Amino acid sequence: KGLGEIEQQIFANEAARGDIHLPSVTLQTVGPTLQSFGTEKQKEMFLKPILAGDVHFAIGYSEPDAGTDLASLRTTAKRDGDHYVVNGQKLWTTGGHQADYLWLAVRTDPDAPKHKGISILIVDTTDPGYSHTPIITADGSHHVNATYFNDVRVPVDMLVGEENQGWRLITTQLNHERVMLGPAGRLEGLRDRVADWATKAGVIDEPDVRRAMGEVTAVFRVNELLNWEVARAAAVGEISVGDASSSKVFAADQVQHLAADRVGIVHRYGDPSDEETDQLMRYLDGQAKRNLVLTFGGGVQEVQRELIAMFGMGLPRVPR
């Protein structure tokens, strides 16, 4: 509908509050990056289907020997006429078993400095050379995969941006992903669900319950302010690495311990033989396990803090 970054943030927060799963990687990270760097053909081919929910992307970055040091990636793409031929392996490809396309980081110049020889390709997952194996996570679910590329052929017009200049696209997409991982609505939804249960159970006025509800409300409001600052900056095209990483780090840290506090309340006052209480306990346990991914999705917390220090505070780069 042509609405802006502020409205998109409102929508994402409300979806998170209601525990509604959006195709966030596609909608909130690939889409905006394509808007900035895609060709007219790519925009015409993908943007409207992304908004309609008809096309889904997965991100192919991490590899067995290139995680935090992503620029060490080894998956290659060699030019062959009007195609690139891709060979290699990726790890932790969320949704790689369901995606229509992969947003794939590849090495197109093996002789260039490691940050300079990388490109981004859009890979069709129906190519016979693409395959995946599941990685089962702590919540018992199949979200992520190891993905394999055996002579996968990618048309040259599916190169996003310039050849060997993909690092800028990676950082842009990751900035959007870090914002995506920190919606305040996630905390608000957690609070509301436990508060509703505590009200029905008659324990909402217990001192420890009131303290816990007050704490999560305060944290939610701070998280919301971080979201608004990032949305404001994005609306004028100046989203910063420091702001994006701050939003992600704050939300990921807070949701861990606040979720644990809510679990403690339900365990202290709840009767697990009660069906509604049992369902809430299962929900909170699943959330706790699912939210663990926030501590490393989009980049581990330690690296995020380094980015905040360098880009947000102007401190020197951490020596390696």
What tokens does 259 get?
Answer: 């979720």
Domain boundary among 163, 195, 217: 163
User: Do the domain assignments include residue 170?
Assistant: no
- Domain residues for the domain of 75 are 20-163
Q: What is the pTM of this model?
A: 0.84
Q: Are 307 and 241 in contact (CB under 8 A)?
A: yes
Residues 83 and 197 grouped into a single domain: no
Q: How far is residue 271's CA from residue 205's CA, in Å, rounded to a whole number? A: 18
**Does the active-site annotation cover 177?**
yes
Q: How far is residue 215's CA from residue 194's CA, in Å, rounded to a whole number? A: 13
**CATH number of the structural domain spanning residue 281:** 1.20.140.10
- From first to last of its 320 residues, what are the pLDDT tens digits of the chain? 667 778 888 888 898 888 888 888 898 889 989 988 999 999 999 999 998 999 999 999 999 988 778 889 999 999 999 999 999 999 989 999 999 999 999 999 999 988 899 999 999 999 999 999 999 887 778 889 999 999 999 999 999 999 999 998 988 887 777 777 778 888 888 899 999 999 999 999 999 999 999 999 999 899 888 888 888 887 777 777 888 888 888 888 888 888 888 888 999 999 989 999 999 988 888 777 777 777 777 778 888 898 889 888 898 988 76
5, 63, 177, 188: the active-site residue: 177
Q: How many domains does the chain have?
A: 2
Q: Are 74 and 63 in contact (CB under 8 A)?
A: yes
Residue 120, phi-psi category: left (phi > 0), alpha (psi -120 to 50), beta (remainder): beta
Residues 215 and 147 grouped into a single domain: no
**CATH number of the structural domain spanning residue 57:** 2.40.110.10
Residues 150 and 229 grouped into a single domain: no
Residues 111 and 190 grouped into a single domain: no
Residues 189 and 301 grouped into a single domain: yes
For residue 119, the cross-strand partners are: 106
Q: Are 166 and 120 in contact (CB under 8 A)?
A: yes
Residue 202, phi-psi category: left (phi > 0), alpha (psi -120 to 50), beta (remainder): left
